[in-house]
Amino acid sequence: METIDKIKQQISENPIILYMKGSPKLPNCGFSSQASQALMSCGEPFAYVDILLNPDIRAELPAYANWPTFPQLWVEGELVGGCDIIIEMFQRGELQPLVAETAAKYKEADAE
């Protein structure tokens, strides 16, 4: 599978996905740590991809997303942004309802 196809598949199969360095429990950079902390405090499960273990994705995703840095948060197939945007949204109280509504929508779909 081509790397871009793998990225598209990950984004389409996971309503909330964070591309980051490391994992939410063991982040490998401060920005990834802050972003995953903000997401975890929303209280809903989310997928993540450790780009350090996936150098192909690390190389291809910035061009696909038109976003040069990591972490990258994607919700329902749309790029939300990186660490600064995630933290800003969290502080403004915008991230929590976005995550909650998205998670609820997909829980309902799974239940049907």
Binding residues for glutathione: 21, 58, 70, 83-84
Instruction: Round to whole Å and give the CA distance between 54 and 16.
Output: 19
Looking up tokens 């949204």, which residue turns up? 89
Q: Reduced to 3 states, what is the DSSP secondary structure of residue 82?
A: coil
Q: Would you list which residues are annotated within the binding site for [2Fe-2S] cluster?
A: 29
Q: Would you list which residues are annotated within the binding site?
A: 21, 29, 58, 70, 83-84
Parallel, antiparallel, or unpaired for β 47-50 and 16-20? parallel
What are the CA-CA distances from residue 101 to residues 11, 27, 63 (Å)? Answer: 17, 26, 29
Is the sign of the CA dihedral 98, 104, 108, 111 positive or negative? positive
